[in-house]
Amino acid sequence: MTPSEPPLPDLNDILTSRRLGAAIGSLADPAPHPALHLDESERLAVRRALRRSAHPLAGFANHLLDDWDQLADDDRAAGLLLFAQLARTPERRRDTGRELGR
């Protein structure tokens, strides 16, 4: 980012619980919903957060951002939920030697 470029929006301002709730609500309504729109600066902020994620689905999430304008609304809603999960989950090392529940 150069000094003349405005700073990217904060991820918490993009993926608010209100926006995520509206995205879920849009699944029952076929009309286009503004909560599913991500402008270019929002996409860049999400992409930056995904780059820091060690989650195995981070690459898939980046592909969703690449195709955002062509996605159906239900895919966009799922994408917003995925972005929120991946971007807010602290990085954890995968320990393949441990089983769940033990």
For residues 26-56, one letter each, b for 16 or more C-beta atoms within 10 angstroms of the residue's C-beta and e for the rest, the string is beeeeeebebbebeeebbbbbbebbeebebe
Q: Where in the chain are the domains? A: 11-88
Q: Find all residues with CB under 8 Å of 74, minimum gap 6, and list them.
A: 27
- Sign for the pseudo-dihedral over CA of 42, 40, 9, 93: positive
pLDDT single digits (tens) 67-90: 999 999 999 999 999 999 997 766
Question: How far apart are alpha carbons 26 and 23 in whole angstroms?
Answer: 5
Q: What is the pLDDT of residues 12-32, one digit of tens each?
A: 899 999 999 999 998 888 788
